[in-house]
Amino acid sequence: MGEIKLMKGNEALSEALIRAGCDGYFGYPITPQSEVIEYLSREANARTGMVVLQAESEVASINMVYGAAGTGRRVCTTSSSPGISLMQEGISYIASAELPCLVVNIVRGGPGLGTIQPSQADYFQATKGGGHGDYHMIVLAPYNVQEMVDHVKLGFELGEKYRTPVMILGDGALGQMMEKVELFEQMPRKTEFPDWATTGKKEGIHRSIITSLFIQPEVMEQVNLRLQAKYREIEKNEVLYQTINCEDADYIFTGFGLGSRIAMKAMEMAREKGHKVGLIRPITVYPFPYDIYKEFAGKVKGILDIEMNAGQMVEDVRLAVEGKTQVEFYGRMGGMIAGPDEVYEYFEEKFLGGK
Amino acid sequence: MAKSLGDVIIDIEKCKGCELCIDSCPQETLALAPRINQKGYHYAVKVQDNCTGCLNCALVCPEAIISVYRKIVK
């Protein structure tokens, strides 16, 4: 049993970074994730010697992450939607150079400079690539403060296993809300670095070169093939999801992150009124759990997807069910959060033909 | 009308505009300010001088940034 605390999402995530033995954090403050850099600059260096640096911009911070990741260290950056957009070039470079790092996106309402309220409108950007070129990040979607902590550890592990950038796709509400968390034990910082790390050419050791520039198209194609093989491997092995009350369900609610929390409450309301509703919550949104939706597509009468955007994950759900069942979508945009009662009303209207 | 017996002081720079205090106030003493704080949130402010010092806002505040003062009348 780890230490139990009442913490704000952003602070819990920062504490998890320190405890996961993170070596470097490079970031730039932006509401609603400013508490991360505030907490880390107050706590981190004194406790583990971790480097915490406020860069001059998001572009600079992701390139600092690129450089530090090249040395085999555990590195991280965090930002919110407009900042993550600025980072896309760097993330693409990191994916191409096959380096592990953790990028945390505490999503706020967009498009543009948008609002500072919670949203999930960065799903496409996070899961379909975001930057240029054929690449993916492993994307973890926490739904409570506890998972903000657990996914830090999991994210570092997955990133280092596959040498790929990992994103935690939170949202403004998860960053700001206070909840009970169980923290894991302090892990030591790494002292041994992998073979590919640029730790200095010494006598009898090969030269490590980190680059994302391959002028010859034949070489670039090989890099792409290697990346794609890696993504197929990830899609095969690392899919995570949670199902609740699905065994006897006639209808399924679904959503990721905060959307799934709203769906959970709406599911309870539906169960109270005697409707058999279950819930599927993807924990990794890339790789997306297509198979579980496919499995239930033939068994249920309908799936209702709840998100805080105009309908992004619903496209993946529709792909997965292959038209075998009715898929409906309910979402609010721009920083507004749907209430469980309005979700339930929408469910009644679409699937039960009104009251 | 009874004179105000309480007063509420909010650390506006730490407020995230969650509105829980506003919903919990039986007197409608609090509201969101039209201005924003340094982080960009509309913060809670006292808009009426009718606080009874009931403490609801301070108890419900997730950031624990509301102080309530109560005058004891004998």
> Count of domains in chain B?
1
CB burial class (10 A; 0-12, 13-18, 19+) of residue A199?
middle
Asked if residue A78 has pLDDT above 80, the reply is: yes
What pLDDT band is residue A201 in, cutting at 50, 70 and 90?
confident
Segments making up each domain of chain A, as ranges: 3-185+214-237, 241-351
Asked if residue A113 has pLDDT above 70, the reply is: yes
Range of the domain at B34: 6-70
What pLDDT band is residue B71 in, cutting at 50, 70 and 90?
confident
Task: Tell me whether residue B1 is in a domain.
Answer: no
Identity of the residue in B40, B41, B62 whose CB atom sits nearest the CB atom of A178: B62
What pLDDT band is residue A202 in, cutting at 50, 70 and 90?
confident
Asked if residue A177 has pLDDT above 80, the reply is: yes
Element containing residue A308 per DSSP (H, E) = none
Q: What is the tens place of the pLDDT at every residue in A284-339?
A: 999 999 999 999 998 999 999 999 999 999 999 999 999 999 999 999 999 999 99
Asked if A316 and A309 touch (Cβ cutoff 8 Å), the reply is no
- Which residues from B are below 8 Å from A32, CB to CB? 16, 39
- Which residues from A are below 8 Å from B62, CB to CB? 177-178
pLDDT at position A150 = 96
Query: d(Cα A50, Cα A176) in Å, to the nearest integer?
Result: 24
Asked if residue A228 has pLDDT above 80, the reply is: yes
Dihedrals phi, psi of B47, to nearest 5 degrees: -110, -10
Residue contact B41–A177, C-beta within 8 A = no
Query: d(Cα A337, Cα A324) in Å, to the nearest integer?
Result: 30
CB burial class (10 A; 0-12, 13-18, 19+) of residue A240?
middle
- Give the chain B residue whose CA is nearest to the CA of A115: B40
Summarize the confidence of residues A270-292 as an average pLDDT.
96
Summarize the confidence of residues A136-153 as an average pLDDT.
96
Q: What is the tens place of the pLDDT at every residue in A12-71?
A: 999 999 999 999 999 999 999 999 999 999 999 999 999 999 999 999 999 999 999 999
Cα A344–A347–A349 angle (5° rounding)?
A: 110
Q: What is the ipTM of this complex?
A: 0.79
- Looking at chain A, the whole-number percentage of residues with pLDDT higher than 70 is 99
Task: Tell me whether residue B56 is in a domain.
Answer: yes
Asked if A312 and A171 touch (Cβ cutoff 8 Å), the reply is no
Residue A329 vs residues A123, A311, A351, B68: alpha-carbon distances, Å: 15, 7, 12, 44
Summarize the confidence of residues A254-267 as an average pLDDT.
96
- Give the chain A residue whose CA is nearest to the CA of B15: A176
- Give the chain B residue whose CA is nearest to the CA of A32: B39
CATH number assigned to the domain comprising residue B45: 3.30.70.20
Query: CATH second-level architecture of A241-351?
Result: 3-Layer(aba) Sandwich (3.40)
Summarize the confidence of residues A330-353 as an average pLDDT.
94
- For the domain with range A3-185+214-237, which CATH number is right: 3.40.50.300, 3.40.109.10, 3.40.630.30, 3.40.50.970? 3.40.50.970
Dihedrals phi, psi of A324, to nearest 5 degrees: -80, -15
Helix axes A290-297 and A313-321, enclosed angle (nearest 10)? 50
Question: Which of A115, A163, A142 has the alpha carbon at shortest distance from A334?
Answer: A115
Q: Do domains A3-185+214-237 and A241-351 have the same CATH topology?
A: yes
Q: Cβ of A136: how many Cβ atoms within 10 Å?
A: 22
Asked if A156 and A19 touch (Cβ cutoff 8 Å), the reply is no
Task: Tell me whether residue B18 is in a domain.
Answer: yes
Q: Quote the DSSP letter at residue A32.
A: T
Asked if A28 and A79 touch (Cβ cutoff 8 Å), the reply is yes
- CB of A164 within 8 Å of a chain B CB? The answer is no
Q: What is the tens place of the pLDDT at every residue in A330-339?
A: 999 999 999 9
Strand, coil or helix: what is A332? coil
- CB of A337 within 8 Å of a chain B CB? The answer is no
Q: Cβ of B35: how many Cβ atoms within 10 Å?
A: 9
Residues in contact with A114: Cβ distance below 8 Å, sequence separation at least 6, in sequence order: A81, A82, A108, A334, A335
Cα A188–A192–A198 angle (5° rounding)?
A: 125
pLDDT at position A200 = 86
Dihedrals phi, psi of B5, to nearest 5 degrees: -110, -10
Query: d(Cα A198, Cα A72) in Å, to the nearest integer?
Result: 7
**Within the 23-82 window of chain A, which residues sit less than 8 Å (CB to CB) from chain B?**
31-32, 34
CA atoms within 13 A on the CB side of B54: 14
Residue contact B39–A176, C-beta within 8 A = no
DSSP for A213-243, written as a single string? ---SHHHHHHHHHHHHHHHHHHHHH---EEE
Residues in contact with A321: Cβ distance below 8 Å, sequence separation at least 6, in sequence order: A293, A294, A297, A303, A327
pLDDT at position A355 = 55
CA torsion angle for B20, B23, B29, B34 (degrees, to 10)? 70
- CB of A113 within 8 Å of a chain B CB? The answer is no
